[in-house]
Amino acid sequence: MSATLAQQAAPPLPDGLPKHARMRAMIAVAMAVLLSAVDYTVVNIAMPTIAHDVHTSNSAAIWIVNAYQLANLIALLPVASLGERFGHARMCVLGLLVFSAASLLCAMSQTLPELALARAVQGVGAACILGVNAALIRYIYPANLLGRGIALNGLTIALGVALGPSLAALVLSFASWKWLFLINLPLGALAFYFAITSLPRTPQTPARLDLLSVVLLALGLSGIVMGGDNFAQGGGAAQGLGLILVGAVAMALLVRLQLTRANPLLPVDLLARSGFSIAFVTGFLSFVASNFFMISMPFNLTDVLHRGPAETGLVITSWPVAIVLSAPIIGRLTDRYPAAMLSTLGMVICGTGFLLLRLLPHDPSDLNIMWRIYLAGTGFSMLQPPNNKAMLMTAPKQRISGASGMISVARLFGQTIGGMLVALTLGLAHPMPTQTCLALAAFTAYVAAGCSLSRVLAKQEN
């Protein structure tokens, strides 16, 4: 595979690829990212059917999603580190191979443990793609067009997450749930072809993977995520606190260890840069805010506003539509204006959209709901490209893999923590749990806006 890449992939130019090569390379990245993003949500609708077929309870079936998500989160930074050593294109190609093979294993699974294990492997394959995709874009696009590439990448991720449930509903109307995974095989083969023929070779470093750091990272993230999930699902307080304590201790030891490493797995060297750390926290908070909305809004539409499933899906579609329609404009603005201005304005608009949803009248029309969701989606789309560009441009070029991995960590960790907080809020905030979630979505978005704005002060201090 290495030889094939070396012979067929176009070598990177000092500042991006020529236009035709850039388009082919971006098709490869977009197809790989779309596959991994769709599988983040594609099984949600099918979980009751899958639980019945593999003879398990609905609560236990949650691990079909959790296994993928947790493995993805844990593997992101190790994969980014391996990208620095072996090349980002090679890791993306490897990710496609692992993802496709794991998809076949998912379709062949007969029990919940088999399916959960296959989903975990699939999550590792997705991490190989998502951990290096931003780094690849940095080498595909010249600096003056980088915002457009990042906007297109963000659009692809948003489309994948939004299309997952719709694609699942379409497949399940004609075939069994196993085809949710089997359709990845031809799509993965096509993405593999574009990847080996189009992705640029990127610089490699001799740095080795720090196995002790990987173990501490896995313990830390899994302890925090599983402990928080235990609380969110109403499990025992002692067990939840114990898991969170183990995770916190492991993360503290990891940070201490990273301070002694020249090429740290957890990029404390990048987080020490104020511009990078502010962008990371802003991105994390934005995804916490979006999950407060995305998870609670369907319940609000069905339980409070009395919409049916089809009408609920149609109304929420205004969120991805806003992202799709605004992406080309935001990409161009990202290449012209600073992240502090665009990202701050974006989260203010997004938070205002969430607040207006919280203040909906008693019996609103669908159009009255949709324009508020559309406003929030437009604001959210304004944040991601400039904020992600800031993370990439703040990092030294030899640490671009670490920056790429942290962009995906901000997204996935924000979605994970947001999901836990929604579960807690829905369980505790009576009598208006969904409205409380929307209020918290607005509050978190405004906090993210304040965090984004603080980079202006950081520049003044420097």
**What are the CB-based long-range contacts (under 8 Å, 24+) for 340-344?**
340/452, 340/453, 340/455, 340/456, 340/459, 342/382, 342/383, 342/385, 342/386, 343/279, 343/282, 343/382, 343/383, 343/386, 343/387, 343/390, 343/449, 343/452, 344/449, 344/452, 344/453
Q: Domain 1-199 in CATH: superfamily?
A: MFS general substrate transporter like domains (1.20.1250.20)
Same fold, 1-199 and 266-462: yes
Quick: pLDDT tens for 272-292: 888 899 999 999 999 999 989
The confidence score (pLDDT) of residue 10 equals 39
Burial annotation 404-437 (CB, 10 A radius, 16+ → b, else e): bbbbbbbbbbbbbbbbbbbbbbbeeeeeebbbbb
The confidence score (pLDDT) of residue 236 equals 67
Confidence of residue 462 (pLDDT cuts 50, 70, 90): very low
Quick: pLDDT tens for 429-441: 777 888 999 999 9
Of 377, 67, 369, 5, which Cα lies nearest the Cα of 195?
5
Is pLDDT of 111 > 50? yes
Quick: pLDDT tens for 7-65: 344 344 446 788 888 999 999 999 999 998 888 777 866 777 888 888 887 667 778 87
Is pLDDT of 218 > 80? yes
Confidence of residue 5 (pLDDT cuts 50, 70, 90): very low
**pTM above 0.85?**
no
Q: Where are the domains of the chain?
A: 1-199, 211-260, 266-462
Is pLDDT of 420 > 90? no
As a CATH number, domain 266-462 is: 1.20.1250.20
**What are the CB-based long-range contacts (under 8 Å, 24+) for 320-323?**
320/158, 320/159, 320/162, 320/163, 320/377, 321/374, 321/377, 322/373, 322/374, 322/375, 322/376, 322/377, 322/378, 322/380, 322/381, 323/154, 323/155, 323/158, 323/159, 323/162, 323/377, 323/378, 323/380, 323/381
Quick: pLDDT tens for 135-192: 888 889 888 888 888 888 878 877 787 777 777 777 888 888 899 899 999 999 999 9
**Mean pLDDT of all residues belonging to the chain:** 85
Which one is predicted more confidently, 43 or 89? 89
Confidence of residue 447 (pLDDT cuts 50, 70, 90): very high
Which one is predicted more confidently, 429 or 360? 360
Structure tokens at 308: 């049916």
Report the range out of 68-72, 99-103, 226-230 with the highest average pLDDT.
99-103
